[in-house]
Structure 1
Amino acid sequence: MCGIVGYIGPKKAAPILFDGLEKLEYRGYDSAGIAVLENNELVVEKKQGRLKGLEDVVGDKFSANIGIGHTRWATHGKPSDVNSHPHQDSTGNIAVVHNGIIENYLKLKEMLIEKGHDFKSETDTEVVPHLIEQYYKGDLLEAVKAAVKELHGAYALVVTHKESPDTLICVRKDSPLVIGLGEGENFIASDIPAIIQYTRKTIILDDNEIAVITKDKVEIMDKEGNIIDKNIMNVDWDAVAAEKDGYPHFMLKEIHEQPTALRNTLKDRIIGDTVDLDNMNITADYLKDIKNISIVACGTAYNAGLVGKELIEGLLRIPVEVSVASEFRYRNPLVDDKTLVIVVSQSGETADTLAALRESKRRGSKVLAITNVKGSSVAREADFIFQTIAGPEIAVASTKAYSTMLLGFYLITLYFGQLLGKEMPKELYSGLKELPILADKIIIETEKQIESLIKPFEGWGDSFFIGRGLDWHVAEEGSLKLKEISYIHAEAYAAGELKHGTLALIEKDIPVIALATQKDVYEKTVSNIKEVKAREGYVIALAQEGDTEIGKSVDQVLAIPKVPSLLTPILTVLPLQIISYYVATSRGCDVDKPRNLAKSVTVE
């Protein structure tokens, strides 16, 4: 959700804060603000709307060498100037930025009002600076430590005080926070892209850790004040990966980066007809002892999990359940020490997924994490890790993270099959190695046809995606992409279910994207497509090259290279992403920052 930055050092803080906030604007863009210590005074500037509006107001008027910044995704209180961060205490001496939710803020607010504190905003965050003020007796660290003991919920906090002009203090619980180590300067951020151009040396704060940061020193302690020796992680991302690199939007850039992301995720993991994931440290004895697998994820990651279920059940014959993470721990899930739980999260910081991970471990399950971010909370807390190598994904709508998550499920399934002594289809190994080349071809070919592919969506506020088996699960992801960035209402259905109610929604020329790549249900899918055409829907079909029949039943055909049916999801999703992108841009939508959404969902 919200993005946090902080800087202390010899340079002007404001330009560094704005640069970091620009890199984090995908985490929220309702409003933005900064606080700097300028000429021994704490000065706060904040404004509703995109970051550019705040930059225009601030200009170059600050020369301060210390400051904090925030870009907001509203939770408590509508987007407005007054609800924007940073928030201050009654004296104006303390400023705080926050990512997360303070669950007991109303109780704290009532207590503080009784003690004479004056509140200005509708936010939960504002209780934090007032609580620090209440405990402040000349020692900022002690006041912060006392205040956070009163907080219930999730928070990443950065605190500055007029009377501590050489110090920033930050605290983390259930919301991500990274410290960047420089030479005579140090940085704070919610995510690595905000600081990667300044330093590659980072420290990832764990839950309930507090950091005291000066320009020359970073000291980390637990909530009781005991000093902790933390590992320094060197970031191996290319700084250019967090830039648009000439593309009009990050989303289009990231669509085009998928062949490379697939290639990097495959690298050294397929050797001949075997998959090498030995560094995952899962043993054959452990796998033989499990009775079922539970996949838990949110949004796009959940859709990847649906494909994973089909692969694991089909090839390994192990029962698999896929759960939405936000519901998982509230329904008394049936997981125990005989269950392998697979959690999927691009950022590795998704609050609901992290909570599901912890609940699973509490119940005795081992957890395998599929994640794109090394050192993330999910990666650190899981028992086993499969890291995708997608690189930083900035656009809110996930593309390369999804395709590499899918690839992760293929590799994991094949590897598990090997450990269990099962015969795996040989064509999958060679087919997986061909995917990066085929993905590049599909992206090029789809963009050549894009004008005719997006034209059916003109003037429509509704659309449908249909398919069977694996195609249905990819249709779910296609519909999510279209609605989240173009604001066209889109629904995905198992094609065989149309006649059980959904056909009532089909009108003349309404756009329907039909996936027809699964050989074993191909004829039935074509029959379902004909049901749509009989109601005069406009059908764009995705089918494999060499399919000469599908064109007789639809309005347009988009061919994907011929591969084994099991491998089509990684290829069929690419045209769906591209269509969604161009439909959205034709409607004038901001595809990188769709309304009401944020990239990394770190609150429940």
Structure 2
Amino acid sequence: MCGIIGIVGAEDVADRLLDGLRRLEYRGYDSAGIATVVGGHIERRRAQGKLVNLAKVLAAEPLPGTTGIAHTRWATHGAPTTSNAHPHATEEVAVVHNGIIENFKALRDELIGRGRVFTSETDTEVVAHLVSELIEQGAEPADAVAQVLPRLHGAFALAVLFRKHPDLLIGARLGSPLVVGYGEGETYLGSDALALAPLTQRIAYLDEGDWVVVTRDGAQVFDKDNVPVERAVTLSGVSGAMIDKGNHRHFMLKEIYEQPVVVAQTLRSYVRRIDDQVSLPIPDFDLSAIRRVTIVACGTSFYAGMVAKYWFEQFARMPVDLDVASEFRYRAPVMEPEGGLALFISQSGETADTLAALRHARAEGQKIAVVVNVPTSSMAREADLLLPSHAGPEIGVASTKAFTCQLAVLAALVANVARAKGRLTPEEEKDIVRHLSEAPSAINQALAQDEAVQALAPLIVPARDVLYLGRGTDYPLALEGALKLKEISYIHAEGYAAGEMKHGPIALIDEAVPVIVIAPSGPLFEKTVSNMQEVQARGGKVVLISDEDGIAAAGEGCLATLALPKVHPLIAPMVYAVPVQLLAYHVAVIKGTDVDQPRNLAKSVTVE
């Protein structure tokens, strides 16, 4: 979600802070700002909207200073205005903040009662006032922060700048990531390694509850009990080059087209063609002891988990619970004290709801498996079984390649569990390996239909509502297709299990509501076609996505058809994800929406 970068440097830092924010644009934001210490006082430059607006402010009013903090904000408390943009400041301190201070109202009322004057609607400003009060009373910066942190309830990453200490920053994290970067005569703070990549490769990840005092000479980390601790310095491996769109118009389109390569990369980590086996990065994890799986995720990752539920039940014959992360803890789930595996799926590995659910499951005695695209993330570091999805950086807010790579990892995990449980013969495992190995080529064939999808898009653009239908693992694909269309084109769309149409949603059908039917030929094809014909009988305009056999059998009377390669049901979700992604993309392009950074959305959601 929001992005943080801080520099304690030897020369003016504003330009580098702005460059760091540009590297964090993918996270989603609606305002931005920078603060430095100049001539013994704090100076700020802030702007509503995109970073180009902040760049214009800086061009008109340059900002000197060798120590500074910068932030891209995704609005939670208060509208996305300049006055609500970070950094928030008093005369003594400036603060940037990712996350949410849940008890901010009580703290704000307390501070107002003591005469403090607020200039924003945000929760963050209470942190600035709390620290400032103690500084004004004579406290040293580290002592002030140490006293304030226990008063803050919620999730946060903080960076604090001090008027009287122009060569000092203090950072803190609780439920939201923060990293320290080490340079030559400079030290840095960032919300992730990508923000710091042009500055340094030497980084340390703060643990939960840590806070850190940063100077030019280095950093001293303290744990939640204010005890000095050491955190390992590692090489991030993140390129300092700005990630660009190449020859593609948008990051989303580039990432859609990267899927054959990144799915192949991911499968290479899990599939051994030499002996036709599926392997895991940690082979000594006792999968045979698992008796029940609980899958927890949000958004697109949740739909990947839905597909995995079908696979676990089909191949491993295991009971599986599936939960939206934001609901998981609050329904008091009953979890197996022995043999329970809790599986968490996340692109960023920092999603607040999913991370909180992970910690709840840990407290309930579950073994923790994590499918994540960022192997240095909080979830990855807290997992018993880490399953990286090697999608590479995903910049577009609407997830595409991360989704198909998650499916590849989950298929490998299911095969391993099935083998460990004695549910998979060597011949069946060879079949799975063969089909998974066919996935990159089949995805590439699906991408060859891009022009056909582009030609189809104008038929969808005028719609106010769109329905997606599917059965079996095509049902999660229907939900995912509807989500993509909503996210980037702002057209209302819903996905349904095809058999559920006649239980209510069929009342919505008329000639103005396009219905996207996902129906590869196979054991569920005839059932889905029957539901499709119910739609057509009521004047609904159907777009059928199937293979040539399916289209030949059922394509008559459709508004349009889209032919994909004929594939095994195991890899169909990876292949059929492509046209629903492309359809959402081309509809959004025609409508002129912001494809890569759609309104109100953020890439990594670090508040509950």
- The alignment's TM-score, normalised by the length of structure 1, stands at 0.96
Partner amino acid, structure 2, of 1:549:
A
Partner amino acid, structure 2, of 1:569:
P
Partner amino acid, structure 1, of 2:605:
V
**Aligned equivalents of 1:11, 1:579: Cα separation in 2:** 48
CA deviation after TM superposition for structure 1 residue 330, in Å: 0.6
Alpha-carbon deviations, 1:535-565, whole Å to 9, x = none? 2222221112443213224232212222211
Equivalent residue number for residue 579 of structure 2: 575
**Aligned equivalents of 2:37, 2:206: Cα separation in 1:** 25
**Aligned equivalents of 2:125, 2:53: Cα separation in 1:** 23
Equivalent residue number for residue 116 of structure 1: 115
Greater displacement, 365-374 / 8-17: 8-17
Helix, strand or coil at the partner of 1:565: coil
Greater displacement, 22-31 / 585-594: 22-31
Greater displacement, 19-28 / 392-401: 19-28
Greater displacement, 98-107 / 198-207: 198-207
CA deviation after TM superposition for structure 1 residue 77, in Å: 1.1
Greater displacement, 166-175 / 549-558: 549-558
Greater displacement, 579-588 / 288-297: 288-297
Aligned 8 A contact 2:263 2:404 in 1 = yes
Within a 5 Å distance, the mapping from 1:10-159 to structure 2 comes to 10-59=10-59, 61-89=62-90, 92-136=91-135, 137-159=138-160
Aligned 8 A contact 2:521 2:549 in 1 = no
Alpha carbon RMSD of aligned pairs, Å?
A: 1.6
Within a 5 Å distance, the mapping from 1:122-201 to structure 2 comes to 122-136=121-135, 137-201=138-202
Helix, strand or coil at the partner of 1:81: coil
**Aligned equivalents of 1:280, 1:51: Cα separation in 2:** 46
- Relative distance call for 1:278 and 1:155 in structure 2 (3 A) is closer
Partner amino acid, structure 2, of 1:129:
A
**Aligned equivalents of 2:206, 2:446: Cα separation in 1:** 41
CA deviation after TM superposition for structure 1 residue 523, in Å: 0.8
1:505 aligns with 2:518: no
- Residue among 546, 559, 562 paired with 1:558: 562
CA deviation after TM superposition for structure 1 residue 10, in Å: 2.5
Within a 5 Å distance, the mapping from 1:414-563 to structure 2 comes to 414-423=415-424, 425=428, 426-443=430-447, 445-517=448-520, 519-547=522-550, 548-563=552-567
1:399 aligns with 2:403: no
The share of aligned pairs that are identical, in percent, is: 44
1:235 aligns with 2:244: no
**Aligned equivalents of 1:223, 1:363: Cα separation in 2:** 23
Aligned 8 A contact 2:32 2:86 in 1 = yes
**Aligned equivalents of 2:597, 2:536: Cα separation in 1:** 35
Greater displacement, 362-371 / 336-345: 336-345
Partner amino acid, structure 2, of 1:365:
Q
Partner amino acid, structure 2, of 1:124:
D
Greater displacement, 186-195 / 488-497: 186-195
Task: Say how many residue pairs are matched.
Answer: 598
Equivalent residue number for residue 256 of structure 1: 257
Equivalent residue number for residue 342 of structure 1: 343
CA deviation after TM superposition for structure 1 residue 240, in Å: 4.8
- Relative distance call for 1:472 and 1:5 in structure 2 (3 A) is same
Aligned 8 A contact 1:34 1:86 in 2 = yes
Aligned 8 A contact 2:454 2:583 in 1 = no
Partner amino acid, structure 1, of 2:110:
M
Partner amino acid, structure 2, of 1:115:
R
**Aligned equivalents of 1:253, 1:451: Cα separation in 2:** 15
Partner amino acid, structure 1, of 2:542:
V
**Aligned equivalents of 1:44, 1:498: Cα separation in 2:** 55
Greater displacement, 269-278 / 171-180: 269-278
Aligned 8 A contact 2:28 2:397 in 1 = no
Gaps in structure 2 of 5+ consecutive residues: none
Greater displacement, 154-163 / 539-548: 539-548
**Aligned equivalents of 1:41, 1:167: Cα separation in 2:** 14
Partner amino acid, structure 2, of 1:18:
L
**Aligned equivalents of 2:343, 2:242: Cα separation in 1:** 28
Aligned 8 A contact 2:435 2:570 in 1 = no
Helix, strand or coil at the partner of 2:579: helix
Equivalent residue number for residue 592 of structure 1: 596
